[in-house]
Amino acid sequence: MTINRRRAPSSRISSEKKRKGHKNEDIFASLINGAVIKGTQKGDVKDRNEKLHSVKSGKKWQIFLYSYSRISQSLNLNILKYCQDSFPSDYQTYLSDREKCIAFKENYIKTNGRTAAKSLSNEEVSKNIGKNLYVSSKYFLKDNTLKVCDTLKDKTKLRNFYNEALFNNDEVDYLTIKDNQNISDNLFLIFDKNDVLNILVESTFVSTSKAGNVPEDFNVDGQKVLICYKQASGKSKNIIEIEVRNESESKYRSIRFNMYSKDTLSLLNNLNSIKLNDNIIVYGEAIPKFNL
């Protein structure tokens, strides 16, 4: 049985995003007389003062996609291991039960229609398919995302979590963002690590996702850890989404951490700034530290 529930971008789209990201690193390095650092580390560009910049561009950033072992070895991200451990260690066992569950839902849709399938309770599905690790994993994950949320309510732990996710602890000094408002302009915004951490810790809070409404799937609350902030209107908005990826054996139980550019900038743009030239704006604590 072939299941196509693709939420991750295709390999072609991912490659194109990486290519554009590397191009922006080259542009930024040339603008500051710096050097691009090759590899998969957090630091992308080293400036004249030997300080490292993590360079981000585009509307949505994949901050990381870490394997089970990488999360296990982390100092502060290892709380996400709760989420990974919601799923059986063997991918084929997981896949077999996933196929069984979705096959039942798809057959139900063929017989009764999509509207009826949306009204079908999870309890009724479980009665029909019996013991199923795909289903039980969903409920384990719901409980474990709440554990992560409880842990990250502690502001010190939240700061350490952000520090490792964004800056690999002490590796990176600046978050540098390519402005997306005018794609033709090579305008880069430089933020000091301390400002980024202070603002994110002060302005964000942790939550979990609500159940989807895909009739072919088994929909349960709490499948993602969400980090949110309050907009000026008072409405909450996601700035970060963290989820377990299981779309293939090679990616099984990986953790993906996505962050939204527009929402991040809406928080950081309130800092004082100085425009050094047509291509570089420096903010907050970066003003006295960074120079061309």
Cβ neighbours of 240 (radius 10 Å): 24
User: 198 with 118: CB under 8 angstroms?
Assistant: no
User: 122 with 104: CB under 8 angstroms?
Assistant: no
Q: Could you tell me the maximum CA-CA distance found in the chain, to the nearest angstrom?
A: 68
3-state SS, residue 186: coil
- Full pLDDT tens readout for the chain, 292 residues: 555 555 555 565 555 666 665 799 999 999 999 999 988 788 999 999 999 999 999 999 999 999 999 999 999 999 999 999 999 999 999 999 999 999 999 999 999 999 999 999 999 999 999 999 999 999 999 999 999 999 999 999 999 999 999 999 989 999 999 998 766 689 999 999 999 999 999 999 999 999 999 999 999 999 999 999 999 999 999 999 999 999 999 999 999 999 999 999 999 999 999 999 999 999 999 999 999 9
Burial call 27-56: b when 16+ CB within 10 Å, e when fewer: bbbebbebebeeeeebbbbbbeeebbbbbb
